[in-house]
C-alpha cells in the first residue's frame, strides 16, 4: 500500500452533488454506494469525491458522507458504516500527508486501495468582503494549504495562522463573522458556495499544485 503514493495519472472535472449527509445520521443504506470524505461541502476532499463519482458512477446515486477528521473516516470504513473513503495522500509541494499515511499503516490489514487519482489544487485567499491584505490579522485553513502557500504567507508576516479540520470548515468559520480582520485559504468553488469574496487567486507555491487521492475500500 505504501507504494501507491507515487502513482499520479488522472486529471478530472468537477460535478455538483446534493446528496451529502452527516455520518451521525442512521439513515445510511449499506446496500447503496456510500463515500466518506473530509470536511463540509466543497473541501478539496469533497471535490475529489465529486470527481470520482463523475468518472466512475455515471447515473448512479451515491451517498456522500462528510466526516470531521481523518480518524473518523478510517473508523467509518473499518466498521462498515460506509463503502468507500477518499483521502489525500501526497501533494507535489509538501509531500506525503503524514496523518493519512500513519492511519494507512495502522489500518492496512483492513483496507485496500481501489483507485489512485490526482486533483489540481488552486488555492485562493477569501474573506467576507473586499479588504486590503494589510488589514488582515488571522488566516484560517487546514495545515496543508498553509505549507503549500507559505511563499505567499511569508509576504505578510504579521498574519496569525489558525489551523482547521478542512479548508471548507475554515470558510464556514469566517462566514459566521463580519470581521474585516479574518480570511481563509481554500478553493474558488467553496468561496462561491459560501458567498465569500475572493481577495487573491493562485497563491500556491507552484502553479501546477496537485494532490494525489486514494479511494479506499474495506477488505
pLDDT digits 0-9 by tens, 125-160: 999 988 899 999 999 999 999 999 999 999 999 999
pLDDT digits 0-9 by tens, 67-110: 999 999 999 999 999 999 999 999 999 999 999 999 999 999 99
Rounded Cα distance, 54 and 51, in Å:
5
Check: pTM over 0.75? Answer yes or no.
Answer: yes
Q: For the domain 2-121+209-218, what is the CATH code?
A: 3.40.190.10
pLDDT digits 0-9 by tens, 169-219: 999 999 988 788 999 999 999 999 999 999 999 999 999 999 999 999 999
Domain borders along the chain are: 2-121+209-218, 123-201
Q: What is the DSSP string of 75-98?
A: HHHHTTSSSEEEEEEEETTTEE-H
Strands 182-187 and 138-141: parallel
Topology annotation, domain 123-201: D-Maltodextrin-Binding Protein; domain 2 (3.40.190)
Amino acid at each position: 500500500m505504501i507504494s501507491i503514493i507515487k502513482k499520479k495519472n488522472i486529471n478530472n472535472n468537477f460535478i455538483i452533488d446534493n446528496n451529502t449527509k452527516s455520518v451521525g445520521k442512521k439513515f445510511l443504506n449499506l446496500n447503496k454506494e456510500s463515500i466518506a470524505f473530509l470536511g463540509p461541502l466543497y473541501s478539496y476532499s469533497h471535490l475529489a469525491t465529486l470527481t470520482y463519482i463523475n468518472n466512475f458512477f455515471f447515473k448512479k446515486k451515491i451517498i456522500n458522507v462528510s466526516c470531521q477528521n481523518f480518524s473518523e473516516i478510517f473508523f467509518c470504513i473499518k466498521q462498515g458504516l460506509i463503502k468507500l473513503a477518499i483521502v489525500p495522500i501526497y501533494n507535489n509541494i509538501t509531500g506525503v500527508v503524514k496523518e493519512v499515511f500513519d492511519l494507512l499503516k495502522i489500518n492496512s490489514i483492513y483496507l485496500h486501495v481501489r483507485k489512485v487519482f490526482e486533483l489540481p489544487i488552486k488555492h485562493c485567499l477569501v474573506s467576507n468582503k473586499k479588504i486590503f491584505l494589510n488589514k488582515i490579522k488571522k488566516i484560517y485553513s487546514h495545515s496543508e494549504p498553509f505549507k503549500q502557500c507559505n511563499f505567499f504567507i511569508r509576504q505578510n508576516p504579521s498574519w496569525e495562522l489558525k489551523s482547521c479540520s478542512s479548508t471548507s470548515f475554515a470558510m464556514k468559520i469566517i462566514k459566521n463573522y463580519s470581521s474585516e480582520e479574518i480570511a481563509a485559504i481554500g478553493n474558488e468553488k467553496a468561496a462561491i458556495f459560501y458567498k465569500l469574496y475572493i481577495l487573491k487567486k493562485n497563491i500556491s507555491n507552484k502553479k501546477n499544485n496537485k494532490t494525489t487521492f486514494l479511494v479506499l475500500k474495506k477488505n
